[in-house]
A and B are shown apart, each in its own frame.
Chain A
Amino acid sequence: MFKALSVREPQPACADVEALSETPVETLLELIDKAQQPPWVGMRAASCLIQGHADAVQDTLVDWVQQEDSRGFAILVLNQIDTLPQPVAIAVATQALAGPYASDATSRIAKSTNPALLALVP
């Protein structure tokens, strides 16, 4: 899976990548945790989690917007906040607006088309 996520272009499809593992969520989380280079491996793995497994990894998504040293993942999930299931989106937005990336969060959530998210923006 690491090799499949390493190519410069074209980008790999999540379904093709996830088919390489019997436990794709666990493998994607391991890649995010351990694969330091190239940087787009972790970002692509995170993107696959957001797109296909947001419910299962809600705690991880919330961690990204709360902890230090994860601004890239935070921006990634905030850019896709309208694609998340509503409870996940509310949890991520609420914590993001109170976290270290509140400025990044405010400008991105303000572009949401979801009234429940817009209501959270101060």
Chain B
Amino acid sequence: MFRLPFALVALILLPGCELLTGLLNGGSGMLETRTSSVQSQDGIATIDVDVSGESAFQLTATSGQLLAVEAVNAPDGSQPLYWDDWSGVNSLTSAVWLEGKDTVLNWPVRQADGNLSDGTWTVDVAVVDDQGYYTDDQVDVVLKLKDDSDLSTGTVNARIVYADGLKQDSVVTAGVQDAVTRWAEIWAPYGINLETSYEDSSFSTDQPFPGEGSEQAEVSSGANGSEITVLITETIDGSTDYYGIAGGIPGTLDYTDHALVIVSWLTNAGGDGEFSDDDIRLFGETLAHEVGHYMGLFHPVETTFDYWDALDDTDDCGGQSACESALGDNLMFPYPVCDWTSCTPQDQLTSQQAGVNQRYTGTL
């Protein structure tokens, strides 16, 4: 049997298969970690998720073959997610895309997906060879479940890691800290409290895309299991073309080479290499935007204006003018709306967008 769609980006796996259970307190909620290994049968690895009072879970699966979530099955026998329902012009989660040898699912994604009822949920993960045919392999699984009864408020822990030498550059550190302040201001009206820590490192100031760098699993390994790692670099993939990039939609709380958001200080500072007030505002918006991707948000509309997110309260606009008018102030709009000298503030989230970020398993 053949399985589509393939996504564009090839990913690299980092397997892990020890069996452990741990509890971690990241904010008002609790996070529990369970790891296991599952052998697929007829191309499907069926992963049980026992729920007892938890409000969301995140599944990170890795294997020697391509992986994608096929279906999510509820304890009452219903199937709230089937991959082929999300292969069209609306995007719910990149977990259903065959991108590489790992996949990350956060469930539920939206308020419309319902609550996480008690009982045994199952997640069917498709195991596919590089020709697109179902095959069998061992799948290593890290499950994180959050026990947080209040999905209207939460705390996100972000770990800011400076690449080699940047923590000694006062222009960079002052700019980052001011931008983080702006990021926290953007999130506050939506009930998301931002907690940050700062670290020095000797990681390269030029990083390839998440999943393609030899250092990136090591970067994420310093996180405590509930944090999102933001690596401040000078360049991404050898250039300043990229302002920032997230390791997944959603990204994992586990330790993999995709487990980070990478942001270039230099692209943000611009040609003068200094941070103006406008630069700081945009930098803060982009940090919130990229981490918003990591917490499960897609652009409400893509720059081709023919793909949209899966939310009912973000306009399914068509065309540049209509979309800039309807969504130009939205934090997740794909580009800032500017007139050469200034840009429209992009700090708005809809109720359903905020709900996605609140349901992210790392929002505690």
A: which residues have CB within 8 A of B?
Answer: 2-3, 6-9, 11-12, 32, 34-44, 46-47, 64, 69-76, 79-80
User: Would you call B282 an interface residue if the criterion is a C-beta within 8 Å of the partner chain's C-beta atoms?
Assistant: yes
The B258-287 residues at the A interface (CB cut-off 8 A) are 266-274, 278-279, 282, 286
User: Would you call B2 an interface residue if the criterion is a C-beta within 8 Å of the partner chain's C-beta atoms?
Assistant: no
The 8 Å CB contact of B268, one of A7, A9, A40, is: A40
Residues of B within 8 A of A37 (CB): 278, 282, 336, 338, 340-343
Residues of B within 8 A of A41 (CB): 338
Q: Nearest residue in B to A11 (C-beta to C-beta)?
A: B241
Contact B245 A6 (CB under 8 A): no
B: which residues have CB within 8 A of A?
Answer: 206, 234-235, 239-245, 266-274, 278-279, 282, 286, 289, 303, 320, 334-336, 338, 340-343
CB-CB nearest 4 A-B residue pairs: A39-B270, A71-B273, A11-B241, A72-B273
Report the tally of A-B residue pairs with Cβ distances under 8 A: 102
Distance in Å from the Cβ of B125 to the closest Cβ of chain A? 27
Contact B266 A76 (CB under 8 A): yes
Contact A7 B303 (CB under 8 A): yes
Contact B271 A46 (CB under 8 A): yes
Distance in Å from the Cβ of B263 to the closest Cβ of chain A? 11
Complex Cα spacing A74 to B269, Å: 12
Contact B234 A75 (CB under 8 A): yes
Residues of B within 8 A of A3 (CB): 320, 335
* Dominant secondary structure of chain A at its interface with chain B: helix
Distance in Å from the Cβ of B194 to the closest Cβ of chain A? 20
The 8 Å CB contact of A8, one of B234, B243, B273, is: B243
Residues of A within 8 A of B278 (CB): 36-37
Contact A72 B241 (CB under 8 A): no
Contact A43 B335 (CB under 8 A): no
Residues of A within 8 A of B320 (CB): 3
Complex Cα spacing A87 to B267, Å: 27
Residues of A within 8 A of B241 (CB): 11-12, 40, 43-44, 47
Residues of A within 8 A of B334 (CB): 7-9
Distance in Å from the Cβ of A19 to the closest Cβ of chain B? 16
Assess A7 versus B335: contact at CB under 8 Å? Given A36-B340, A40-B243, A76-B266. Answer: yes
Residues of A within 8 A of B271 (CB): 32, 39, 42-43, 46, 64, 70, 72-73, 76
Distance in Å from the Cβ of B171 to the closest Cβ of chain A? 8
The 8 Å CB contact of B244, one of A8, A42, A46, is: A8
Distance in Å from the Cβ of B44 to the closest Cβ of chain A? 32
The 8 Å CB contact of B272, one of A2, A35, A70, is: A70
The 8 Å CB contact of B234, one of A32, A34, A39, A79, is: A79
The 8 Å CB contact of A43, one of B240, B303, B340, B343, is: B240
Q: Nearest residue in B to A101 (C-beta to C-beta)?
A: B273
Assess A38 versus B338: contact at CB under 8 Å? Given A46-B271, A76-B240. Answer: yes
Contact A70 B273 (CB under 8 A): yes
Of B243, B269, B270, B343, the most chain A CB neighbours within 10 A belong to B270
Residues of A within 8 A of B242 (CB): 9, 11
Residues of B within 8 A of A8 (CB): 243-244, 286, 289, 334-336
Distance in Å from the Cβ of B334 to the closest Cβ of chain A? 6
Distance in Å from the Cβ of A120 to the closest Cβ of chain B? 21
The 8 Å CB contact of B279, one of A7, A39, A74, A79, is: A39
Distance in Å from the Cβ of B236 to the closest Cβ of chain A? 9
Q: Nearest residue in A to B281 (C-beta to C-beta)?
A: A37
Contact B235 A79 (CB under 8 A): yes
Distance in Å from the Cβ of A100 to the closest Cβ of chain B? 11
Contact B234 A9 (CB under 8 A): no
Contact A75 B243 (CB under 8 A): no
Distance in Å from the Cβ of B56 to the closest Cβ of chain A? 26
Contact B270 A40 (CB under 8 A): yes
Complex Cα spacing A111 to B148, Å: 50
